[in-house]
Chains A and B, each alone.
Chain A
Amino acid sequence: MATLNVNGKDLDVTDVPVDTPLLWVLRDHLGLTGTKYGCGVSECGACTIHIDGEAAQSCVTALGDVGRAKIVTIEGLSKNGDHPVQDAWREHNVPQCGYCQVGQMMTCAAMLKDNPDPSEEEIEEGMWNICRCGTYNRIREAVKTAAKEMQNE
Chain B
Amino acid sequence: MNNPLQQLTLRQLIDKSRVETEVKLPLGSAILRRDFLKSIAAGSLVILTATDGTTTVAASDDLATDKNLSPSLFVAIEPDGTVQILAHRSEMGTGIRTALPRVLADELGADWNKVVIRQARGDKRLGDQNTDGSNSIRFFYKTMRMAGAMARTMLQQAAAKQWGVDADRCTTKNNQVVLKGTKKSIAFSKLVAVAINLKTPNPETLKFKSSDEFQYIGKNFPITDLDDILTGKAVFGIDARIDGQVYAVIARCPVVGGVALSYDADAAKKVPGVIAVIDLPRFQGAPLFQQLGGVAVVATGTWAAWQGRDALKVKWDEGPNATYDTEAFSAALKETVSKTGQTLRSQGDAAGAIAKADTQVSATYSVPHLSHAPMETTCAVADVKTNDKGDVTSCYLKAATQNPQAVQQAVGPAMGIPNEQVYCDVTLLGAGFGRKSKPDYCVEAAWLSRILKKPVHVTWTREDDFRHDYFHTISAVHCEAGLDAAGKPVGWLMRGAYPSITSTFAVGADTPATWEAEMGLTDLPYNVPNIQVEVGKAKAHTRIGWLRAVCHIFQNFAVSSFADELAQAAGVDPYEYLLDILGNDRHLDLAALKLGNRGANPNEYPYDIGRLKNVLSRTVKHSKWARHADLPQGQGMGVACCRSFLGYTAHVVEVTVTKEGDVSVDRVWCSIDSGTIVSPDRVYAQVEGAAIMGISQAMFGEMPMKNGKAVHSNFDGFRVARMTDAPQEINIDIITSDAAPGGVGETGIGSFAPALCNAIFAATGKRVRDLPIKNHDLSWTNQ
**What residues of chain A have their CB less than 8 Å away from a CB belonging to chain B?**
15-17, 20-21, 24, 27-29, 32-41, 43-44, 46, 73-75, 81, 86, 89-90, 93, 95-102, 105, 123-125, 127-140
Contact = CB atoms under 8 A, between A and B. Distances in A.
A17 B721 CA distance: 35
| A-side interface mostly | loop
Interface string B352-380: 00000000000000000000011111000
Interface string B240-266: 010000010000000000000000000
Interface stretch (B408-416, B500-508, B615-623, B686-694): B686-694
A83 B90 CA distance: 29
Contacts of A95: 93, 223, 226, 229-230
B222 interface: yes
B428 interface: yes
22 contacts: A17-B272, A27-B238, A27-B239, A28-B247, A34-B233, A37-B302, A37-B459, A39-B462, A39-B715, A43-B716, A86-B230, A93-B685, A97-B432, A99-B431, A125-B724, A133-B93, A133-B375, A133-B431, A133-B689, A134-B691, A136-B723, A137-B727
The 6 A-B residue pairs whose C-beta atoms are closest, nearest first, are A34-B232, A134-B692, A99-B430, A97-B93, A98-B229, A74-B232
Contacts of A125: 724
Contacts of B726: 134, 136-137, 140
Contacts of B432: 97
A132 B374 contact: yes
B232 A73 contact: yes
B487 interface: no
B223 A97 contact: no
Contacts of B235: 33
Nearest to A74: B232
Nearest to A131: B375
B433 interface: yes
Nearest to B463: A40
Contacts of A133: 93, 375, 431, 685, 689, 692
B602 interface: no
B375 A36 contact: yes
Interface of B: 91-95, 220, 222-223, 225-227, 229-236, 238-239, 241, 247, 272-273, 300-304, 373-377, 428-433, 459, 461-463, 681, 685-686, 688-693, 696, 714-716, 720-724, 726-727, 729-730
B93 A43 contact: no
Contacts of A128: 722-724
Given A24-B303, A44-B375, A98-B234, A93 B222 contact: yes
Nearest to B92: A97
A131 B431 CA distance: 10
A98 B428 contact: yes
Given A40-B462, A89-B230, A130-B715, 9 more contacts: A15-B272, A17-B272, A36-B238, A74-B231, A86-B230, A93-B222, A133-B93, A136-B726, A137-B730
Nearest to B462: A39
Contact of A137 (B238, B241, B688, B716): B688
B132 to A, nearest CB: 15
A1 to B, nearest CB: 14
A28 B720 contact: no
A110 to B, nearest CB: 16
Given A34-B231, A34-B232, A74-B232, A132 B433 contact: yes
Nearest to B730: A137
B472 to A, nearest CB: 14
Contacts of B461: 40
Given A15-B273, A97-B92, A134 B230 contact: no
B300 A134 contact: no
A116 B91 CA distance: 35
B167 to A, nearest CB: 39
A41 B466 CA distance: 14
B396 to A, nearest CB: 20
A136 B565 CA distance: 32
Contact of A97 (B247, B303, B430): B430
Contacts of A130: 375, 715, 720, 722
B229 A100 contact: no
Contact of A99 (B241, B304, B375): B375
Nearest to B716: A43
A16 B273 CA distance: 8
Contacts of B463: 40
A93 B226 contact: yes
A17 B304 CA distance: 9
Nearest to B303: A24
B734 to A, nearest CB: 15
A130 B691 CA distance: 15
Contact of B690 (A28, A39, A134): A134
B722 A132 contact: no
Contacts of B691: 134
A38 B460 CA distance: 10
B730 A37 contact: no
B232 A35 contact: yes
Given A28-B301, A86-B231, A105-B230, A38 B462 contact: yes
Contacts of A134: 688-693, 721, 726
A147 to B, nearest CB: 15
A136 B234 contact: no
Name the residue in A96, A97, A105 with the highest tally of chain B Cβ atoms < 10 Å from its Cβ: A97
B673 to A, nearest CB: 21
Given A21-B303, A73-B232, A127 B462 contact: no
A133 B94 CA distance: 9
A96 B226 contact: no
B714 A43 contact: yes
Nearest to B681: A93
Contacts of A93: 220, 222-223, 226, 681, 685
B302 A96 contact: no
Contacts of A129: 722
A21 B303 CA distance: 8
